[in-house]
Amino acid sequence: MILRFVIYGFLGWCIEIFWTGIGSALTGDKRFRGYTYLWMFPIYGSAVFLEFLHDRIFHWPMLVRGGVWVLVIYIIEYASGWFLRNSLGECPWDYSGARYAVKGLIRLDYAPAWLAAGFIFERIHLFLDKILL
């Protein structure tokens, strides 16, 4: 379980750096600057605790599973952002200025990205099940 936690943590970091790099390129940053936060490692690593959910919903229709992943990811993002804001005084990400932000902690317009992330998580989980015990 610790190895899977570390794998999910590093993969989450890499995907976030890629995502923010693409975002910076789209806003005109020629350096394609991507970034993440150290706080994100344990948040992404906690995906290991979602494997049990994946095992239970794997045979559900794809659209239903996708909806579950979007909802679960929003709950995790909101809860972790709320926890960090209340314990540190601020959240590393701040969506306050975004049109579809909820209390600056989640963005509803990111649903397609979280849908894709959920399906990517499923593939990673299945791959890890094949190569790890």
Running along the chain, 133 residues long, what does each successive block of 10 average in pLDDT? 96 96 92 94 97 97 98 97 96 94 97 96 96 83
Rounded to whole angstroms, what are the CA distances from 126 to 8, 21, 123?
Answer: 13, 28, 5
| Domain residue limits, the chain | 2-131
Residues 70-94 pLDDT 10s: 999 999 999 999 999 999 999 999 9
Query: Computed from CA positions of residues 40, 34, 10, 58, in that sequence, does the dihedral angle turn out positive or negative?
Result: positive
Whole-structure pTM value? 0.90
